[in-house]
Structures are given as structure tokens and as C-alpha cells.
């Protein structure tokens, strides 16, 4: 094959320029974050009389964490006569009995608590929330997933923002209960910190659209109705509803100083299934709402930011293309000349790689001013994991583009069981697929590319390409290890009808 063809090099540059565009967007987020760092939102005025709040707890097969959730909700500092607690239970295992007993326990403590169990799981989480809202007594709905543990002061710090009638939703920042459990949870925490601390704060304070994260947030009930209610034609119903509500003129507020802790997936399969769902859902929402955004009267910067946000996961397709173009580029001819080569490739490297590292470094500096340096050694692994996840997430993008129906895979959570040596024998596991085998093949291929570059004395390429085999070996071997028999553990898979 003729690796000297300009077509290979042109394709390589086009893909890298595309990735650099999303890297430049990250730098824009950092700029907006710093520019508006002092614009901390404040309530218009405090409520003279606290309003009634309905706490909605969507649950599906969460036997290890649901009691912890109910205990933390019972400890919230808010008048009992101003709280309604709905356990929206779609479970098919022992969680049903645990939820029923938990609701009875809350009622014995003086709470207005209800256990709503559905056997028809139409709409899944969105369907459960839609069904629960029909019976919600409060004008404000505080939504918590089963693995979250709200702090007692969460409502006191958030509810007063609704004294402004224009506010439709308040989102708090996720914390991480098990951040230091293993290397994977540390890297996940950094991923989420970048999104929650930098992206959400920058978008909100600069007047851009930002989205409800699916949990740890409070909605004004009439805002949901005005936006068309919960719809279940995407895997990310939270993002979908958020854009529809903001297009209706509702304002959202993100409170980065109000933390609501949650549990991170502790194994690679759980992380992959979560990321696959989020990636696929975001592309589904992109297809659904992006045309409406561009038809709206919102300012151009808002439209551009929403476009970058909704299309950002297309970068995984570009990353896969890059994987196939790297080797031809290594054996091709430099068509730009020595100066042009270093100028073009240096610029692309800065915007596609250095910008990403700067983005996550800034999030750690902002959240951990006294200990941010402890997270820096994990930055190379974060970049490698992003590469390793490209196959699974690119598959999710393609499924969304072609409206491919797939199984809905819950993200396993283990609660206190994760501290035990037998947590891997839990009844909850993510679905097993052939993706790790493909990742392993990519890992060996890039190991060959790196070794060849080193043997040819091309040390710059050796160093720059090293994250590729590291990332693919990490994601593949971590998943393949989970394919080994684990007693009687069974995979929890639920069919889902995607659009």
C-alpha cells in the first residue's frame, strides 16, 4: 500500500483538526469559568414559609444502597410536614421488599412516604418519574438516584432560589463517596469533576444552556409540565427535558458549592455501560433538539455552545478514525516541510491533548486547592482511559445515529458491600460483550506501533502514542477479568425499546 499518498496525510490532519476543535472548546469553557468565577448565584429572597417539597427516589434493583438512601433522606433538615417522599420502585428483585419496609419505617417516623411499585416499566426512569409526578403533592420535586446520599442541609441551601418565579431547576454538584476506592474511581471522579465544576458552572454563569444531571437536582413541577413533561424516546431524558425547558424560557441554576455525594462504579464493565448509555443518549438528544435550538431566538453564542455540547461525543468517531490513520502517517511522507510539520502538528497536539489535560488540571485546582497535586499523577491515565473507551463509546454513537435498538444495562452499585472482598460476587453485573476483545486487538496493534517507533529512533512518536496501548490494555483486560466465572452471579439486563 502506498503510505506516501497525500490522501493519507490529509485525512490524518482533518481528523486531528476536528479533535482540536473540541479541545479548543474545552479551553473556552476554562476561560468562561475564570471570567465568571465571582458571579455566584444568590436567591432573590428567602421564602417566608417553606414550600412543600416532594422527594422522588427512582429505584431499580438497588438492594445494596436503597436503605442508605432512605436513611439520608430522613435526615434532611426540613420540616416533616413539608416533605413528601415517593419511592418510585421498578425493581424485580428483593429491592421491592426493602423499599416497602423502608416506606413503612419512614411513615413510623412521621413522614408522608409512599412506595409506588410498577410492574410495567414503560419509559423506565422517565416513566417512573412521569408516573410519580401525577401523585406529587409538592410544587418542587427533589430527584435522587439510589446511590446518592444527600447532605442534611441540601434543601435549606437550594429551595430559596425558587423564590424567583423564572427559575425552573436547581442542580447541585455531585460528590464522590468512594473516590479513592481504586484507580478507576479516581479517574472517574476527575472526569466528573471536569464536567460538574468547570462545564456546568461556566455554562450557567455565562448565560449558556446547561442540563440537569438526572439526579441531585430540584425541579419546579410546572416547569416540567410546561416543557412537555418527561419523554422516554432517548436514554438521557434529563438532558432532553433540560433543553426543552430552557427553550421555553425557564432559567436554571447550578450550585457548585452545594455537594451531593454519590457512589461511582467500581468496575470497568459498570463504567462502560454507564458511559455507553450517556454517550448514546446525548446523540439521541442532539438529533432531537439541535434543530429547534437553531430555529430559536436565543443568542448565537448560546447556540454555538449548545452545538458543541450536543455534538461532543462525535469526537469518539474521530478518535477511532485516528486509530486507523496513525500507522499510515508514521510511514508516510511529510508534505508540509520541516517548519510546517512542527507548526501544524504542534498546534494540533496542543489543542487536542494539552488542552484536555489543562481542563482536568483546572477542575482539580478549583475543587482541591490544598491537595490538587495528589491527582496530577492520574492525568496520564485519564487521557489513556479516554482513548481506551473510544471503541465502546463510538459504538454508542453509531447506534444512536442509526436508531439501533439495544438492551438497557443498569449501572451496578454495591454500597457497603464494595468494602468486602466478595463484592465481585454480587448479583449485579453489567452486560458482557465482545467489545473487550476488539479493544485487546487494538492494544496489541498499538503496542507494535509504539515498539516500531522506538526501534526506529522516533522517540517523539513513541511517547505521544504510548497512551494508546496503555488505554486499550486497561479497558480490555479490566473487562476480560470480569468474564471469568464468579459463582452464581447473574447479569442484570433489561430490554429497552429505543427510538
Residue 17 burial (CB < 10 Å; 0-12/13-18/19+)?
A: middle
Cβ pair 168, 249 in contact under 8 A: no
Q: Can you read off the three cell numbers belonging to residue 187?
A: 479517574
Question: How far, in whole angstroms, is CA 143 from its chain's centroid?
Answer: 17
139 a catalytic residue:
no
Q: Can you read off the three cell numbers belonging to residue 90?
A: 421498578
Q: Minimal CA–CA distance to 277: which of 168, 461, 412?
A: 412
238 a catalytic residue:
yes
Long-range contacts of 133-136 (CB under 8 A, 24+ apart): 133/56, 133/221, 133/224, 133/229, 133/230, 135/86, 136/54, 136/56, 136/84, 136/86, 136/221
Sign of CA dihedral 379, 381, 386, 387: positive
Which 3 state secondary structure label does DSSP give 261?
A: strand
Q: Which helix (H) or strand (E) holds 446?
A: helix 435-455
Sign of CA dihedral 219, 221, 223, 226: positive
Cβ pair 316, 435 in contact under 8 A: no
Out of 67, 89, 90, 240, the active site residue is 90
Other CB atoms within 10 Å distance of the CB of residue 117: 16
- Between CA 229 and CA 224 the distance in angstroms is 5
Contact partners, residue 228, CB within 8 Å, separation at least 6? 241, 244
- Between CA 82 and CA 398 the distance in angstroms is 46
- Between CA 195 and CA 174 the distance in angstroms is 10
- Between CA 30 and CA 91 the distance in angstroms is 41
Out of 67, 145, 193, 238, the active site residue is 238
Count of residues for the chain?
A: 499
Q: What residues are paired with 190 via a beta bridge?
A: none
Other CB atoms within 10 Å distance of the CB of residue 311: 16
Contact partners, residue 337, CB within 8 Å, separation at least 6? none
Provide the annotated active-site residues.
90, 238
Amino acid at each position: 500500500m502506498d503510505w506516501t499518498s497525500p490522501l493519507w496525510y490529509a485525512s490524518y490532519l482533518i481528523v486531528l483538526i476536528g479533535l482540536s476543535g473540541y479541545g479548543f472548546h474545552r479551553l473556552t469553557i476554562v476561560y468562561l469559568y475564570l471570567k465568571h468565577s465571582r458571579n455566584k448565584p444568590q436567591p432573590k429572597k428567602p421564602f417566608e414559609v417553606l414550600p412543600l417539597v416532594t422527594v422522588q427516589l427512582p429505584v431499580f434493583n438497588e438492594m445494596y444502597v436503597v436503605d442508605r438512601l432512605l436513611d439520608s433522606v430522613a435526615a434532611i433538615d426540613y420540616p416533616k410536614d413539608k416533605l413528601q417522599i415517593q419511592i418510585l420502585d421498578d425493581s424485580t428483585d428483593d429491592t421491592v421488599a426493602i423499599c416497602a419496609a423502608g416506606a413503612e419505617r419512614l411513615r413510623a417516623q412521621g413522614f408522608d412516604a409512599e412506595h409506588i411499585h410498577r410492574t410495567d416499566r414503560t419509559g423506565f426512569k422517565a416513566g417512573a418519574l412521569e408516573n410519580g409526578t401525577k401523585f406529587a403533592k409538592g410544587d418542587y420535586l427533589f430527584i435522587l438516584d439510589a446511590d446518592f446520599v444527600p447532605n442534611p442541609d441540601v434543601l435549606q441551601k437550594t429551595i430559596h432560589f425558587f423564590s424567583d418565579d423564572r427559575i425552573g431547576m436547581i442542580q447541585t454538584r455531585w460528590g464522590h463517596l468512594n473516590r479513592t476506592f481504586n484507580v478507576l474511581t479516581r479517574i472517574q471522579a476527575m472526569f466528573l469533576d471536569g464536567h460538574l465544576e468547570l462545564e456546568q458552572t461556566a455554562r450557567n454563569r455565562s448565560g449558556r444552556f446547561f442540563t440537569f444531571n438526572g439526579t441531585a437536582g430540584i425541579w419546579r413541577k410546572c416547569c416540567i409540565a410546561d416543557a412537555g413533561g418527561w419523554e422516554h424516546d432517548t436514554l438521557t431524558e434529563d438532558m432532553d427535558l433540560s433543553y426543552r425547558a430552557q427553550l421555553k424560557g425557564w432559567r436554571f441554576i447550578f450550585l457548585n458549592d452545594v455537594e451531593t455525594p454519590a457512589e461511582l462504579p467500581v468496575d470497568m464493565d459498570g463504567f462502560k455501560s454507564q458511559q455507553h448509555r450517556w454517550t448514546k443518549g446525548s446523540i439521541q438528544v442532539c438529533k432531537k433538539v439541535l434543530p429547534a435550538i437553531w430555529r430559536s431566538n436565543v443568542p448565537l453564542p448560546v447556540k454555538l455552545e449548545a452545538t458543541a455540547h450536543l455534538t461532543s461525543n462525535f469526537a469518539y468517531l474521530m478518535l477511532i478514525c485516528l486509530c486507523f490513520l496513525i500507522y499510515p502517517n508514521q510511514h508516510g511522507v511529510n508534505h508540509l516541510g520541516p517548519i510546517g510539520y512542527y507548526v501544524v502538528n504542534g498546534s494540533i497536539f496542543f489543542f487536542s491533548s494539552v488542552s484536555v489535560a489543562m481542563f482536568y488540571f483546572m477542575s482539580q485546582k478549583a475543587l482541591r486547592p490544598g491537595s490538587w497535586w495528589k491527582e496530577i499523577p492520574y492525568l496520564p491515565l485519564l487521557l489513556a482511559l479516554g482513548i481506551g473507551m473510544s471503541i465502546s463509546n463510538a459504538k454508542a454513537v453509531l447506534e444512536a445515529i442509526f436508531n439501533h435498538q439495544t438492551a438497557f444495562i443498569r449501572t451496578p452499585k454495591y454500597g457497603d458491600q464494595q468494602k468486602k472482598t466478595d463484592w465481585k460476587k454480587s448479583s449485579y453485573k453489567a452486560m458482557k460483550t465482545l467489545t473487550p476483545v476488539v479493544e485487546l486487538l487494538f492494544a496489541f496493534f498499538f503496542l507494535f506501533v509504539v515498539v516500531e517507533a522506538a526501534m526506529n529512533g522516533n522517540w517523539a512518536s513513541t511517547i505521544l502514542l504510548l497512551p494508546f496501548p496503555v488505554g486499550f490494555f486497561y479497558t480490555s483486560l479490566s473487562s476480560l477479568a470480569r468474564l471469568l466465572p464468579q459463582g452464581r452471579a447473574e447479569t442484570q439486563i433489561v430490554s429497552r425499546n429505543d427510538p
